[in-house]
Amino acid sequence: DDNQTLETIQALYKKVGYVLDPHSAVGVAATIRSAANASPDVHHISLSTAHPAKFSSAVEKALDGQDGFDFENKVLPQEFVGLSEKEKRVTEVEGSVSKVRELVKAQVEQELSELQ
């Protein structure tokens, strides 16, 4: 559930300083439960599934006020800084692979011609 996900994000951050995304937190919580019921010679691995910046609201909700947590400086990739303030461009296209392909090809050709 959502509370357990937030608690897992918070617990792992407190323990090792790693910021989990919510999907990875679900996997880590399952790994913790499995490890608690397994013999000591059974090893567990949990892999991260996404970057926590993709789920900023959940991560900030879980870690707001935690010592050393700073979303802008420690989680958000530099390439994302200011992205939300940039102009958004939306192009509608008919729902077919060929139409999407045509649109992408035309856009790439236009951008390449502008570089020359």
pLDDT in tens, 56-69: 999 999 999 999 99
Question: What is the reported pTM?
Answer: 0.72
Question: To the nearest whole number, what is the mean pLDDT of the chain?
Answer: 94
| Residue 46 pLDDT | 95
Residue 39 has pLDDT above 90, yes or no: yes
Report yes or no on 64 lying in a domain: yes
Distance of CA 62 to the CA centre of its chain: 14
> Does the residue 103 lie in any domain?
no
Domain membership flag for residue 11: yes
* Residue 116 banded pLDDT, cuts 50, 70, 90: confident
In a domain, 100, yes or no: no
Closest CA to 91 of 83, 99, 82: 99
Query: Does any domain span residue 65?
Result: yes
* Number of domains within the chain: 1
Tell me whether residue 39 is in a domain. Answer: yes
What whole-number distance in Å separates Cα of residue 47 and Cα of residue 28? 8
Let me know if residue 6 belongs to a domain: yes
For residue 80, the enclosing domain spans 2-87
